[in-house]
Structure 1
Amino acid sequence: MDCTRSYWNGRKAVHRRTMMKGAGYCDSDIKTKPHIGVANTYMEGSPGTAHLRTLVEKIKQGIWAAGGIPVEFGVPATCGNVANGAEELKYEQAARDIVAASIEFVAKVHRFDGLVTVASCDNIIAGCYLAMARLNIPTLCVTGGSMTAGIYKGQKMVQAQLDVAVLGGESEEVLLELEEHVCPSFGACPSMGTANTMQMTGEIINFVVPGTGTLPSTDNLKLRRSKEAGEMIVEMTKADRKPSDLITRETLMNAIAFAMATAASTNIVLHLIAIANELGIKITLDDFDHYASKLPCIVGVIPSGPYTVVDFHYAGGALTVMKMIESQIYTNVPTMDGRTWKELLANVEAKSSDIIRTLADPLFKEPGLKILKGNLSPTGSIVRPTGVPAEMKQFSGKARVFSSDLDSFAAIERGEIVAGDVIVIRYEGCVGAPGMTELMVTTDALIAHGLHKSVGLISDARFSGFNYGAIVGHVTPEAAKGGLIALIEEGDIISVDTVQGTINLDVPENIIAERRKKWVCPPPKVKTGLLALYAKNCRTADEGGAMQPWLDDETN
């Protein structure tokens, strides 16, 4: 790294140095020290982000101590739970691209030598990873960690349980009590949602310092590790260790293996593929399917078990999982500090527990994720087998067709959905929503009304990592692109086999052909603003769903 480059030195850089000096930086620092951007996704309105300023101060201390200069800047962030049950939830997927573009914009203008992102939640941390891959400068992420579980009447309680309780007829008094207890600390909700999935996966893809991704927000070791991360990014910058040096196809395959073993959020499929795209690495649903046939789930974190991510961390965390599946991963790939995974895991003592098991004694015989294909989704759809009730591993039933999460939810509330039905929610994919809606209220209502063991759900939308049931998402091609899901009619028979990996519409081909002749794509639900821009520029869900239209040019 050349810290004396002309961007900050010489006559042509006077105006730049003036701005930095006006902000309080000294001349010698500006001219000679590595400039480290610190992208802070702090936001007061969520426990997942409201504590990040404290971590950032420690990171900046570490950067200064190691001989760099930190330049903190803000990144837009929200909490997905705020929009739960509302149309605004469709912004979540598009927000990933906004986060990435925001970091890219600032980092490019300031020509940072290195970068630290600080994030906790869902598509926000995924957007940080997307930017880190795109910029390809020395970079790491400090995660906000997980919150502790709430305690209500002596029992552990997490946010996902409150979501179901709201729809389950609990009294206003009980709900108020739950509100007071369910989020007792800062940090991401402590289940295997997208937030914690991405925090721990960051360790596997060399964006997060090993052993730190799931450090609870309440553990003050997180403060010390944050300072050390500040020191580490300066060392990485001086050594010019970039994502392209640290993330290979084998690294990403390790992350897929990790996802299977942990029953990760289904959204990890979107995020890993999109990150790979930024690095010019080809990852497909077939790669996920490859590991689904090899690795069972060995982690019992909510909703695949009774334990929280805090429990998971103190049982050994991501490194223990990697040790347990060491025989199935690539161990010759590098880690952030220059060691290989083989060298790193040599120092890990993994002990089997009810939270993290061995491959020989898994918690489930099934993988954490499964790709389903058939005439309804020839390019692939996704289910989390560990969340599917035994009664619904294979199911077949009559289609009940809706065009939004809220419409489907209303039908459940009216008592119109019965055992044996298969709910179809379409035109909620990347283009159709637009933004690829995260279905929440329908899935919660099925559980609240005791229907999750007798009613299936398929959609071109996606799900939260909180969700469980016989729910299949990411159906591609999506309805708005003319996928077969658009041609389903009320009463059609849909068959899904989560064991064999199939999803089919049981309608004769000649009838399907007649329907296709008559099909007309509905007009866009949103015609202006961010979501309209997203719909015109996004990849399909099986290609990561990010705004990466330049990939078409690269393949032509």
Structure 2
Amino acid sequence: MRSDTVTKGKQQAPHRSLFNALGLTEEEMNRPLVGIVCSYNEIVPGHMNLDKIANAVKQGVAMAGGTPIMFPAIAVCDGIAMGHIGMKYSLVTRDLIADSTEAMAMAHQFDALVMIPNCDKNVPGLLMAAARINVPTVFVSGGPMLAGHVKGQKRSLSSMFEAVGANAAGTMSDADLCEFENKVCPTCGSCSGMYTANSMNCLTEVLGMGLRGNGTIPAVYSERIRLAKHAGMKVMELLEKNIRPRDIMTKEAILNALTVDMALGCSTNSMLHLPAIAHEVGMDFEIDFANGISEKTPNLCHLAPAGPTYMEDLNEAGGVYAVMAELNKKGLLHTECMTVTGKTVGENIEGVVNKDPEVIRPIDNPYTPTGGLAVLKGNLAPDGSVVKRSAVVDEMLVHEGPARVFDCEEDAIAAIKGGKIVAGDVVVIRYEGPKGGPGMREMLNPTSAIAGMGLGSSVALITDGRFSGASRGASIGHVSPEAAVGGPIALVEEGDLIQIDIPNLSIHLDVSDEELAKRKENWTPREPKVTTGYLARYAAMVTSGNRGAILEVPKAK
């Protein structure tokens, strides 16, 4: 066993003395050592139940003959970090999580791992770590929150952000805002819509790294505890069969994830995370893969904020496997891929039934014949940009309007709430990219302000930052190259006409090449917003092309 390096032989007597200090018995040291990587904490609602998940996993490992040993991973709550300097730290934690988990697993020579993430960045961070470490690994998340209920309707966190906007616009009373505040997030778990956390937990199932229900069983269900026990037992089976993450997370598995992403209508952040995971397994991922897959993959789900259904509804309809079974009716999946069940994708979804065609549309009756995400290119985004097409209303799929330009999120929000943005405008928020932010903040506050002001079907928003899965409307993010490196978004001037054509995958600034070249000559790089600490080091990594640079959107060919 791998752990023999620290438990067997006379030379390892000092190591064993330290295991003795931990209270481990000789019998435990003779069993496989299974690292339980748990991101439990008391600040993230999606993680407050992970101690219970970890205990269940440990029971499962022990029942199957292993010795479970827990160590932590960090996690940030994007909702609490939203709208202030904390959001600059959210995305960059993904690489911190991957790096620190790699360090812990390698330093202590675990034979196998069970990863217990839940919210936005620690799911992909731990998937990246699993690929690097490459010992038998199973994922089990903490599960989604139940939807809130306000005035007879299901609600979620995005409803809360939009309620703030509506209150600022004078269309919602303070009393109603307070009711929203107290009811939209009623339980522990990852926020109840198809936001980034739930997107990535569902895609973990598709990648083959989580058991059925990993992405959809609600956090408060006892079924989630049973799933955790099974994950602990299953990792011992994988260890016996020597099935490792790189046997599972192949190029074909990544393409399966992108396909199901399109059907589910996942967060645009998946277009940051799937390339990073692909990078770790040696796959050259280009974001315009998305358009080729989207062309042949119908959008089958409109989960909040794109529609009125929630994760609990998807779970009752049959979950991720039911979506995959629908897609497989047209042969859209690589069914030969191995998974942590010890079976192939095809074997896993055989006989799975779609129990609710209102939640998961049948393959021959989709919401749209194309997928939930699209990559737009043009002179404003020569390396590509990303939009959650499934969350854009029909009247905004093609839009043309004057640019209203802001160099940070705060200035844009002030203008929106101050009534300075009107129907037809295109809000441009720049210098919020990986280097320019630094840290690539989410733009949920601006999109929510637009929706709250009643402009969601008439105003577009373009940024070199990124969008939350909770964002809806014509929100185009990840614009690359970003403003901080002289991308065309840095050259947009107030009133420039911007043309958006999502069906034709185009985003165009109506300015001549000659004029853009002239503006580029006169462009002056901005001074860094952060000069010390981790954010400064991260921004330097992006610039130098080191591993942190994979946070940038890959170029579209």
Q: TM-score when scaled to structure 2? A: 0.95
Aligned to 1:231, which of 229, 233, 244?
233
**1:96-132 deviation per Cα after TM superposition (whole angstroms, max 9, x unaligned):** 1111122111111111111111111111212111211
**For residues 485 and 134 of structure 2, what CA distance do their matches in structure 1 show?**
33
- Distance apart, 1:79 and its partner CA: 0.7
Aligned to 1:469: 473
Q: Deviations over 1:166-220 (max 9, x none)?
A: 1211333333322221221111111000010011100011221133321111211
Give the direction of change, closer, same or farther, for the CA distance of 1:160–1:4 in structure 2 (3 Å limit): closer
> What are the Cα deviations for residues 4-63 of structure 1, in whole angstroms up to 9, with x where unaligned?
633321222222212211111112321x21111111101112220001101110100111
What are structure 2's unaligned runs of at least 5 residues? 553-557
Structure 1 unaligned spans of 5+: 552-556
8 A contact 2:76–2:121 mirrored in 1: no
- Residue 325 of structure 1: SS of its match in structure 2? helix
SS state at 1:36 partner: strand
Name the SS of the counterpart of 2:7 in structure 1: coil
Q: Name the TM-score, length of structure 1 as normaliser.
A: 0.95
Q: In the alignment, is residue 201 of structure 1 matched against residue 203 of structure 2?
A: yes
Query: Residues of 2 paired with 1:369 and 1:550: CA distance?
Result: 19
Is 1:143 the counterpart of 2:148? The answer is no
SS of corresponding position for 2:191: coil
For 1:143-542, what aligned pairs fall within 5 Å after superposition?
Answer: 143-169=141-167, 170-326=172-328, 327-351=331-355, 353-538=357-542
The corresponding residue for 1:18 is 17
Contact 2:5 2:109 (C-alpha < 8 Å) held by counterparts: no
Deviation per CA, 1:391-423: give whole Å up to 9, x if none.
Answer: 111111111111111110001112111122111
1:75-86 aligned at under 5 Å gives the runs 75-86=73-84
Matched to 2:540, the amino acid is K
Distance in 2, Cα, partners of 1:205 & 1:107? 22
* Range with bigger deviation, 258-267 or 239-248: 239-248
Cα pair distance change 1:4/1:151, threshold 3 Å = closer
Q: Deviation per CA, 1:240-265: give whole Å up to 9, x if none.
A: 21111112111110111001101100
User: What CA distance in whole angstroms lies between the structure 1 residues aligned with 2:546 and 2:477?
Assistant: 13
Maintained 8 Å contact 1:352/1:358:
no
Change in 2 beyond 3 A, CA 1:406/1:216: same
Query: Match for residue 554 of structure 1?
Result: none
Question: What code does the residue aligned with 1:441 have?
Answer: N
8 Å CA contact retained: 1:249, 1:282: no
Matches of 2:547 and 2:51 in 1, distance apart?
28
8 Å CA contact 1:132–1:139 kept in 2: the answer is: yes
Q: Which deviates more from structure 2 when the two are superposed, residues 301-310 or residues 6-15?
A: 6-15
Residue aligned with 1:25, SS = coil
> d(CA) in 1 for partners of 2:148 and 2:456?
25
The AA in structure 2 aligned to 1:85 is G
CA contact (8 A) 2:93 2:121 kept: yes
Within 2, Cα distance between the matches of 1:336 and 1:388? Answer: 35
1:156: how far off?
1.6
Give the letter for the 2:67 counterpart: I
SS at match of 1:476: coil
Contact 1:494 1:503 in 2 (8 A): yes
1:329-354 CA-to-partner distances (Å, cap 9, x unmatched) read 11122222232222222231234511
1:67-121 CA distance string (max 9 Å, x none)? 1111101111121000122121121110111111221111111111111111111
What is the alpha-carbon distance in structure 2 between the residues aligned to residue 143 and residue 405 of structure 1? 32
Contact 1:406–1:441 (CA under 8 A) maintained in structure 2: no
Q: CA deviation at 1:154?
A: 2.6
Amino acid at match of 2:24: Y
Q: C-alpha displacement at 1:133, in angstroms?
A: 1.4
- C-alpha distance in structure 1 between counterparts of 2:469 and 2:550, whole Å: 27
Segment of structure 1 superposing worse, 450-459 or 50-59 = 450-459
Whether the aligned pair in 1 keeps the contact of 2:35 and 2:110 (CA below 8 Å) is yes
Query: Does the 8 A contact of 2:372 with 2:389 survive in 1?
Result: yes
Q: Is the 8 A contact 1:149 1:156 kept in 2?
A: yes
1:62, 1:351 → 2: CA distance? Answer: 30
Task: Give the C-alpha shift of residue 356 in structure 1.
Answer: 0.1
Q: What's the % identity of the aligned pairs?
A: 39
Q: Using the alignment, how far apart are the partners of 1:266 and 1:163 within structure 2?
A: 18
* TM-fit CA distance, 1:292: 1.3
Contact kept in structure 1, 2:209 and 2:339, CA below 8 Å? no
Distance 2:188 2:354 in 1: 28
Partner of 2:548 in structure 1? 547
CA contact 2:296–2:369 (8 Å) conserved in 1 = no
CA contact (8 A) 2:6 2:16 kept: no
Q: How many residues align?
A: 546
Question: CA shift at 1:3, angstroms?
Answer: 5.2
Q: Distance in 2 between matches of 1:119 and 1:333?
A: 23
| Counterpart-to-counterpart distance in 2, 1:88 and 1:71 | 31
Q: Distance in 2 between matches of 1:416 and 1:510?
A: 31
Alignment-mate amino acid for residue 360 of structure 2: I
2: distance between equivalents of 1:270 and 1:165? Answer: 28
SS in 1 for 2:302: coil
Distance in 2 between the 1:546 and 1:448 partners? Answer: 39
Check whether the contact 1:95–1:123 (CA below 8 A) recurs between aligned residues.
yes
CA-based RMSD of the aligned residues comes to: 1.8
Equivalent position SS for 1:304: coil
Cα deviation per residue 1:347-373 (whole Å; 9 max; x = unaligned)? 312345110012210023442000101
CA positional deviation for 1:546: 6.2
Alignment CA distance shift 1:181-1:399 (3 Å): same
